[in-house]
Amino acid sequence: MIGRAVIAQIGGPTRVINASLVGAIRAALKNRDTISELWGSLHGPEGLIKGNFIDLSAQNSRTLTRVSRTPSAALYSSRKKIGKDISEEEVFNALKKYNLRFFFYIGGNDSADNANTINEIAKKNGYELTCFHIPKTVDNDLRVNDHTPGFGSAARYVANVFAGDNYDNLSLGGVKLNIVMGRSAGFLTAASALARQKEGDAPHLIYVPEVPFEKEMFLRDLDSAMSKYGRAIIAISEGIEDKEGRPIAWDGKTLDSHGNPQFSGSSFLADELTRWVEESRITKRVRADTLGYAQRSYLETISEQDWKEAYTAGRETVRLAVSGYQSGSVAILRNPRKEYGYNLQLTSLESVAKTPRKMPLEFIKGTNDVTSEFIDYAKPLIGGPLPIRGELKMIRPYLS
C-alpha cells in the first residue's frame, strides 16, 4: 500500500497533543516510499469535508520542533461531532475524493469510535484505507491504556496548583475549594494528591465523579477536616454527581455544542459549593477557584515523560501503518517491573472506542481520598518531583 496520508486532531486540546502530531509527521517523512504525500486536515473532520488541508511535508524541522513543544492542536481542533454534525460517510467520501489512503486521527474515545466506523465503511466499499487512532486526553479515561498522553502534564499542573495553594491556605486559613477538570473520570482531580509532601498537606478532601456526592456528606467531611487541620483545601471534580447521577456542576440549562451539560468555563459548581459552606457556618472564610484551561494548556509546565510518550505514540502509530498493519490504536501499557517503564501495544479501534473508563476502585479511599496505589501509579507520569519547598520549625523562643 502506497499513497497519500492525512492527519487530524479533534476534541479538547492537551499540553502534548502536538508531540504526537510531530512524532507522526517525522515518522511519515522517513517513509516516503509508502506515504507519498502527507497532509494535515485543519479543524479535524471539518478540513476533510471542506478540502481545507496543509502540506505537512513542507514544514521545516525547526518549525516541527517548536510545534512539538506547543500546547493545543496545531492543526486546530473542532467542536463538530462526527456522527452528529458530520457523518462518518461524509468523512469517508472526502478520503475517497482526495485519494487519501492513510488516515491518522488524534483524539479520545469518541474519535476512536469515529475512526472505527470510517474504517468499516471503507472495508464495505472495498476502498483500501489504513486507519489509525492516536490517543490523547487529559481525562485519562481511555480503556486498554494504563494512562493516556496529555494526562501527565495536566496532572503536573494540578499538583503544582495544590502544592502552592497549600501554603496560601496555611498562611491565611479557612476553606479553599478548587474545581478540577474531568467529566466522568476522577484521575485529574485525584492528581491533586501528588501535591502532598507530608501529613496534613493539601488537599484534605478529594471528591471524584466515581463516588456519589451528597451535600450532607460533604459538610460532615468538611467539619471534621476543619477540626483536624484547622483549615481545608478541597479538590472537587467538575463531574461530581449525586446518587441519582445528576451532575452537581450543572446549572440545569447551559449546553455545550455537543448538547452535553456544559461545565468548563462555568463557575456554577464553585459558587454552589461556596454557598453551602457559607450557610453551614463551619468557617467564615471560603474561597473557590475553578481551575481553567491552564490545566490543559499552561505553557511552562510539561511532564517530559508525558511528552516523550505522546511523541512515541504518534511515531509508532505511523510505523505500524507503514509496516502494513491496517487499523487500530496504540495503547500505553505499564511494565510490571518496580521501576517505571512503558510499552506500546497495538489494540483494536473498538477496544478503546465509545465507553470511557473510570478510576479503578483500588485508587479510591473511602468517599473523599485516594489510596497510596494511586500515588504510586500517578507519580512517574508527571515527569519528576515538584520543586523543593518546606516550612519553618515551630520552635518557641524563651520569653524572658
Site for a second copy in 14-43 (CB under 8 A): 15, 37, 39-40
Select 111 or 347, whichever has its Cβ closest to a second copy: 111
Q: What is the DSSP string of 304-315?
A: HHHHHHHHHHHH
Interacting span for a second copy (CB under 8 A) from 28-36, 70-78, 209-217, 353-361 = 70-78
Q: Measure the CA–CA gap between 116 and 72, rounded to whole angstroms.
A: 24
Q: Measure the CA–CA gap between 230 and 319, rounded to whole angstroms.
A: 55
Interacting span for a second copy (CB under 8 A) from 76-84, 137-145, 327-335, 364-372 = 76-84
State the minimum distance, in angstroms, from the CB of residue 21 to a second copy: 9
- Residue 90's Cβ-count burial label (10 Å; 0-12, 13-18, 19+) is middle
* Pairing outcome for strands 35-41 and 53-55: antiparallel
Interacting span for a second copy (CB under 8 A) from 64-72, 105-113, 309-317, 320-328 = 64-72
State the minimum distance, in angstroms, from the CB of residue 46 to a second copy: 11
Query: Does residue 286 bind a second copy (CB under 8 A)?
Result: yes
Nearest to 210 by CA among 135, 276, 139, 151: 139
Query: Does residue 79 bind a second copy (CB under 8 A)?
Result: yes
Query: Does residue 67 bind a second copy (CB under 8 A)?
Result: yes
Query: Does residue 87 bind a second copy (CB under 8 A)?
Result: no
Nearest to 194 by CA among 47, 387, 391: 387
> In the stretch 102-141, what mask flags binding to a second copy with x, by CB under 8 A?
----------------------------------------
Q: Which of residues 194-213 bind a second copy (CB under 8 A)?
A: 195
Q: Which of residues 309-368 bind a second copy (CB under 8 A)?
A: none
Q: Which of residues 244-273 bind a second copy (CB under 8 A)?
A: 257, 264-265, 267, 270-271
Which grid cell sits at 178? 478548587
Q: Measure the CA–CA gap between 225 and 234, rounded to whole angstroms.
A: 10
Number of residues in contact with a second copy under rule CB under 8 A? 84
Query: Does residue 290 bind a second copy (CB under 8 A)?
Result: yes
**Per annotation, catalytic residue among 110, 139, 141, 221:** 139
Select 126 or 390, whichever has its Cβ closest to a second copy: 390
Strands (E), 185-295: 205-207, 231-237, 286-290
Is residue 256 part of the annotated active site? The answer reads no
Query: Does residue 178 bind a second copy (CB under 8 A)?
Result: yes
Query: Does residue 172 bind a second copy (CB under 8 A)?
Result: yes
Q: Which amino acid is present at 129? A: L
State the minimum distance, in angstroms, from the CB of residue 282 to a second copy: 16
Q: Measure the CA–CA gap between 295 and 298, rounded to whole angstroms.
A: 6
Q: How many CB atoms lie within 10 A of CB 335?
A: 11
Q: Measure the CA–CA gap between 89 and 113, rounded to whole angstroms.
A: 13
Q: Looking at the annotation, which residues are catalytic?
A: 139
